[in-house]
Amino acid sequence: MDRKFKYLWDNRVVYRRYPTTDVPDEETEHYMFYKEGTHQCYDLFRSRAKITTWRSFYWHMMVLWHLNPKWDDAKAMEVATYLAHKPNGFTTFSMNKWNLSRLVYEVSVLDLDTPPQNKLRKIIFKPSCGLDKTEKLRIVGKLIGRLRGVKKEDIYEAMIQTNHEGDKIIISKLAQMLNVTPRTIHRHMCDELKKEKQILNEQI
């Protein structure tokens, strides 16, 4: 990836947090599995996908400020400015100082103690799991395959894992991973999932 993480590391910016109160139904040295899913996993900048919209940048700043509660407005502005500078590799566009100041102010007046809205996750791989792409996708298929019937949340989980590994999301591959027919995937692909699939693929 072409992201410049050194600034975040040097400034001890927290951009990843695993569930704090939700307890996994199954945990191994490689992963945590939540049958009903969890909204408590924040794992920013893990995939190749960059921030492509103002709305997405706003959400990222909400999450970052929530995960770094000691920030003041000046620190939030400093981090936002770094992330918004396109050459640093986090966004596909640059923002001017006026727009960034407005965004930081809008985020600052929110209730940042409340976790920002987040996607449901069922399988969370640990950073040091040591598994390659093929092994991870095989585990996703095996765990989701245990559940009774494929739901849109399961398809989304498979899409996210595929995207995280840098692969394009293809219906036939999702079907193979989840051990169902392509027709089943098509039947469960609501408009939201279709849009998400398009966005994720465009970012690869």
Measured CA angle at 118 (ends 166, 28), to 5 deg: 65
Q: Give domain status of residue 162, yes or no.
A: yes
Round to the nearest angstrom and report the end-to-end CA distance of the chain: 11
Pairing of strands 31-38, 16-17: unpaired
DSSP count for the chain of H helices, then E strands:
9, 5
How confident is the model at residue 166, as a pLDDT?
77
CA-wise closest residue to 169 among 157, 153, 184: 157
Pairing of strands 42-43, 31-38: unpaired
* Residue that terminates a domain, selected from 77, 108, 139: 108
Say if residue 82 is in the same domain as residue 140.
no
Q: Please count the other Cβ atoms lying within 10 Å of the Cβ belonging to residue 12.
A: 7
How confident is the model at residue 204, as a pLDDT?
64
Domain that holds residue 150: 19-41+119-202
The domain tally of the chain equals 2
Say if residue 123 is in the same domain as residue 37.
yes
Say if residue 144 is in the same domain as residue 198.
yes
How confident is the model at residue 111, as a pLDDT?
93
Q: Give domain status of residue 187, yes or no.
A: yes
How confident is the model at residue 160, as a pLDDT?
82
* Under 8 Å between Cβ of 91 and 52: yes
Q: What's the full length of the chain, in residues?
A: 204
Instruction: Provide the mean pLDDT of the chain.
Output: 88
As beta bridge partners, residue 125 has: 31
Tokens of residue 105, six digits: 């102010």
| Average pLDDT of span 134-152 | 77
* Under 8 Å between Cβ of 109 and 9: no
| Average pLDDT of span 146-158 | 76
- Scan for tokens 């709305």, then name that residue: 55
| Average pLDDT of span 67-88 | 95
As beta bridge partners, residue 91 has: 51
Say if residue 88 is in the same domain as residue 133.
no
* Under 8 Å between Cβ of 81 and 100: yes
CA-wise closest residue to 156 among 145, 169, 168: 169
Residue 77 binned pLDDT confidence (cut-offs 50, 70, 90): very high
| Average pLDDT of span 53-65 | 93
Q: Give domain status of residue 5, yes or no.
A: no
CA-wise closest residue to 49 among 1, 121, 109: 1
Residue 149: pLDDT above 80?
A: no
Say if residue 30 is in the same domain as residue 58.
no
Say if residue 151 is in the same domain as residue 90.
no
How confident is the model at residue 148, as a pLDDT?
64
